[in-house]
Structure 1
Amino acid sequence: MHLYTYDSAPNPRRLGLFLAYKGIDLPTTQIDMRENKHRDAEFLAINPLGTLPALMTDEGVMLTEVIAICDYLDALYPDKPLMGSTALERALVISWDHRIFVSIFEAFAEMLRNRSPAFENRALPGPLDIEQIPELETRGRKRFRGSLELFDTELGDKPFLCGDSITFADIDLLVGVETARWVKESIPEGCDNLQAWLERSRAALS
């Protein structure tokens, strides 16, 4: 296997925390997104989507979605499972993860990609030129804050999103919350359940 990534970017960080927690070490090539190396012809020949991370499996199959890479690796390396140990646990992790991606990561992308000059004509990830829509920044902030308030209520006094053990869903929410600092957002005031969860998750991953 071979991993193409850029450690400091949000999606690669999701995978990086997963790999570190499980103790998986993969041959890796860093693709510098700050220098737009993910849009160079050399990398597009490897992954035509131009997205990171991307994992080339031993079978020669390219996996480009973080949740797919993690699900694949969790099956290959079952110690310290992060995708659930039963069918129901796995369903809960995937359900939470989908919600987090749609309501937190997409909201973050709306805030960042529709305001920053660095993303001119790149309002969506991938190879297509997509124009910015400045009004979506406001919508992104509303989605982000409202979703975290709802998550705080649903979390209640549970240690982690899916129960007593940390899962990939917790990793994703942690990355979403911490990356939101890039657009001057954080856990809303009064979300004490989420704040306590964040400290537990950081401790569990350290």
Structure 2
Amino acid sequence: MKLYTTKLAPNPRRVAWFVAEKGIDDLETVEVNLLAGEHKQPEFRNKFGLGHLPALELDDGTCFTETVAIARYLETVYPEPNLMGVDPKETAIIEMWTRRAELYLANPMMMFVRMTHPALSALEAPVPEVGAYNKAAAEKFMKALNRHLADNEYLAGRFSMADIVGVCGVDFGRLVKYRPPEEYEHLNRWLAACNARPAASAGLK
């Protein structure tokens, strides 16, 4: 299998972290230069349909993108340690929190950074107003997460794909020197605990 990826971007980091948590060591990694537009070249688009990273190419030639889809496949092939649910109920809970973390936290944070970081203008034109709107949306959900994490160590009860998605989204804000509000003490405790895991550095180096 080949994993097409790039350093520092939040979506590729999700899969890199997931792979590291599982100790998967037989994936061939192919670095793709986003700023040079390598993901927009016909060869890449023809292979994967869209210029999205990360992307996984199986040995039989099957190709797909989307981080949760890639994680779901790898979870099936490498079932331990489990990161996506051991039974129907836990799987549903982790899926719920993964979607919440993606839709209400990671996606707004990514748009906030993309719309305000001048270096990313190579990918799209900055729109500060859109960035500010998404920052406010992300912080609104952070407030709700802070309440949830007052009574929960991790988003879905134990460390899972949901935490990886959420933390990678928040951490992307570092590109614009963003830190969550200090009063969200439970959220910041959760971020620190997740980033202290040895696998958390995957995709950052």
In structure 2, stretches of 5+ residues that fail to align are 200-205
Describe how 1:23-62 pairs up with structure 2 within 5 A.
Answer: 23-25=23-25, 26-62=27-63
Asked if 1:153 corresponds to 2:154, the answer is no
Deviation at 1:48?
2.7
Q: Using the alignment, how far apart are the partners of 2:49 and 2:119 within structure 1?
A: 21
Q: What is the identity, as a one-letter code, of the residue corresponding to 2:182? A: E
Which residue of 2 is the match for residue 5 of structure 1? 5
Which residue of 2 is the match for residue 170 of structure 1? 163
Which residue of 1 is the match for residue 109 of structure 2? 108
Q: Using the alignment, how far apart are the partners of 2:127 and 2:187 within structure 1?
A: 31
Taking CA–CA contacts closer than 8 Å with sequence separation of 6 or more, which of the two structures ends up with the larger relative contact order?
2
Which residue of 2 is the match for residue 190 of structure 1? 183
Give the total of aligned pairs.
Answer: 198
Q: Using the alignment, how far apart are the partners of 1:199 and 1:112 within structure 2?
A: 21
Decide which moves more: 19-28 or 109-118: 109-118
Q: What is the identity, as a one-letter code, of the residue corresponding to 1:65? A: E
SS at match of 1:20: helix
Query: In 1, are the aligned partners of 2:56 and 2:70 still within 8 Å (CA)?
Result: yes
**TM-score for both structures, normalised by structure 1:** 0.87
Q: What is the identity, as a one-letter code, of the residue corresponding to 2:135? A: R
Deviation at 1:85?
0.9
Query: In 2, are the aligned partners of 1:4 and 1:55 still within 8 Å (CA)?
Result: yes
Which residue of 2 is the match for residue 128 of structure 1? none
Deviation at 1:187?
1.9
Which residue of 2 is the match for residue 202 of structure 1? 195
Q: Using the alignment, how far apart are the partners of 2:104 and 2:132 within structure 1?
A: 14
SS at match of 2:56: strand
CA deviation map 1:141-166 (0-9, x unaligned): 11111111110101223221111x21
Q: Using the alignment, how far apart are the partners of 2:174 and 2:17 within structure 1?
A: 18
Asked if 1:143 corresponds to 2:142, the answer is no
Query: In 2, are the aligned partners of 1:111 and 1:140 still within 8 Å (CA)?
Result: yes
Q: Using the alignment, how far apart are the partners of 1:74 and 1:136 within structure 2?
A: 35
Decide which moves more: 41-50 or 131-140: 131-140
Deviation at 1:198?
1.8
Decide which moves more: 165-174 or 111-120: 111-120
Q: Using the alignment, how far apart are the partners of 1:88 and 1:30 within structure 2?
A: 37
Which residue of 2 is the match for residue 65 of structure 1? 66
Q: Using the alignment, how far apart are the partners of 2:100 and 2:7 within structure 1?
A: 23
Q: Using the alignment, how far apart are the partners of 1:117 and 1:8 within structure 2?
A: 16
Q: Using the alignment, how far apart are the partners of 2:156 and 2:97 within structure 1?
A: 8
Q: Using the alignment, how far apart are the partners of 2:185 and 2:94 within structure 1?
A: 22
Which residue of 2 is the match for residue 15 of structure 1? 15
Question: Percent identity between the aligned chains?
Answer: 34
Q: Using the alignment, how far apart are the partners of 1:59 and 1:93 within structure 2?
A: 30
Q: Using the alignment, how far apart are the partners of 1:39 and 1:92 within structure 2?
A: 35
